[in-house]
């Protein structure tokens, strides 16, 4: 074989390999009898309530589907990796799922602080990624072809909807903000501020705190001097509960509303009696609801996880994990027997109000990968239970 013939043969082989690789990769994780899903989330560390819940809910949904015969003749398999609430470990774990475990799609991550630094890695992988709970808009704005969010409402949309609720529904003028010092708090508070300005208002005060702070007296005293009608607390449950208690202890009677991070079932217990009347954002029905779909989910969850049931679970993170897996199952159903990553993602983009039964309806399209655009408002009752108020608020 002369050099020219050798080069032509080698080039043809390289081109054949180059065109074959995407097709091979596109059906990675699929066999005639199984489909392999990866999970990356915070099972330990500060964000463990979200990651452990996302995994528990997703596993329940996949087990139920397997018991019902699977999907298009295939049973689910899954591999989970703990990112330990660490972005570098999240990146390493995701790469292991994709490169070593060869999964078809990934559910997770579960926390913004982990997920946002992973953005370029997720996007370049081409692997379908379904985000159940973390709320940074950076993952969907602008759209990334292979990244979808279900269940929760992103912080930009949530902040704007909170401002609309306070000004347009409650007719309040003087709004103050207490926000966590990280990206989570900055994004939510920034969106509230921007929307207030569009409505002809401005925050009367903005105070920051760290997620680890245990005394917010100084910030609360500054808020008291601003005489707000409402205070939005945009932070994780523990510091938000401290802020709420100190706001009331220092005699401030303002309306208080917390972000969706305070929607876990233990929050009323964390704030205690001073929390009566405090409101918070809910991105769907409450896990303790008696509505049949949620009641059925709760019964199945507590049977499957008796230890978690004794802790008062399911929690919101369990619900959003279950909802994410149900979205995956429905997209696989729509994609059909000859499923590929490409037609799976195309199937997700046909969702026009798909309901998992326990999360808000999912709306996705080729130009929109942000599945939820509504929030609800819940309130802590005198019995320290939680109650959803009527109606839903559209996030603009």
The domains of the chain, with CATH numbers, are 34-153+289-365 (3.40.50.2300), 155-282+377-394 (3.40.50.2300)
Q: What pLDDT was estimated at residue 183?
A: 85
> Can you name the residues that pair with 365 across neighbouring β-strands?
368
> Can you name the residues that pair with 176 across neighbouring β-strands?
205, 231
**pLDDT (tens digit per residue) in 84-95:** 999 999 999 999
**pLDDT (tens digit per residue) in 94-112:** 999 999 999 999 999 999 8
Contacts of 317 (CB under 8 A, 6+ apart): 49, 50, 51, 52, 53, 54, 57, 110, 132, 133, 264
Which pTM does this prediction carry?
0.88
Using a pLDDT cut of 70, give the percent of the chain over it.
Answer: 94
**pLDDT (tens digit per residue) in 101-143:** 999 999 999 998 899 999 999 999 999 999 999 899 999 999 9
**pLDDT (tens digit per residue) in 221-266:** 999 999 999 999 999 899 999 999 999 999 999 999 999 989 888 8
Reference 375, options 190, 158, 184; nearest CA is: 158
Residue 87's region, left for phi above 0, alpha for psi from -120 to 50, else beta, is: alpha
**pLDDT (tens digit per residue) in 6-65:** 334 443 443 333 333 343 358 899 999 999 999 999 999 988 989 999 999 999 999 999
Please compute the mean of the pLDDT values over residues 309-317 and round it to a whole number.
Answer: 93
């Amino acid at each position: 074989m002369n050099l020219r013939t050798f080069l032509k043969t080698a080039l043809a082989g390289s081109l054949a390999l180059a065109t074959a690789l995407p097709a091979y990769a596109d059906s990675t994780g699929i066999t005639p009898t199984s489909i392999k899903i990866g999970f990356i989330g915070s099972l330990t560390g500060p964000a463990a309530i979200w990651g452990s819940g996302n995994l528990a809910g997703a596993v329940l949904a996949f087990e139920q589907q397997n018991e019902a015969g699977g999907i298009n003749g295939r049973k689910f398999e899954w591999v989970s990796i703990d990112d330990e609430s660490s972005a570098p470990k999240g990146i390493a774990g995701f790469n292991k799922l994709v490169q070593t475990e060869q999964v078809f799609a990934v559910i997770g991550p579960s926390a913004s602080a982990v997920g946002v630094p992973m953005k370029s890695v997720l996007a370049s992988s081409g692997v379908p990624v379904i985000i159940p709970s973390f709320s940074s808009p950076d993952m969907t704005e602008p759209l990334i072809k292979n990244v979808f969010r279900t269940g929760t409402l992103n912080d930009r949309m949530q902040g704007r909807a909170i401002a609309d609720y306070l000004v347009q529904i409650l007719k309040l003028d003087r709004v103050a903000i207490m926000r966590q010092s990280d990206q989570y708090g900055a994004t939510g508070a920034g969106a509230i501020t921007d929307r207030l300005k569009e409505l002809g208002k401005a925050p009367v005060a903005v105070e920051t705190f760290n997620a680890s702070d245990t005394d917010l007296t100084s910030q609360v005293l500054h808020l008291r001097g601003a005489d707000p009608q409402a205070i939005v607390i945009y932070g994780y449950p523990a510091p938000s509960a401290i802020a709420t208690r100190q706001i009331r202890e220092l005699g401030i009677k303002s309306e208080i509303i917390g972000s969706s991070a305070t929607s876990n079932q233990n929050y009323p217990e964390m704030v205690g009696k001073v929390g009566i009347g405090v409101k918070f954002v809910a991105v769907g029905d409450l896990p303790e609801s008696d509505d049949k779909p949620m009641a059925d989910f709760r019964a199945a969850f507590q049977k499957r996880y008796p230890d978690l049931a004794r802790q008062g679970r399911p929690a919101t993170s369990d619900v959003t994990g279950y909802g994410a897996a149900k979205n995956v199952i429905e997209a696989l159903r729509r994609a059909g027997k000859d499923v590929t990553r490409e037609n799976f993602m195309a199937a997700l983009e046909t969702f026009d109000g798909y309901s998992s039964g326990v999360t808000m309806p999912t709306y996705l399209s080729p130009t929109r990968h942000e599945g939820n655009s509504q929030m609800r408002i819940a309130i802590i009752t005198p019995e320290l239970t939680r109650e959803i108020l009527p109606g839903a608020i559209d996030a603009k």
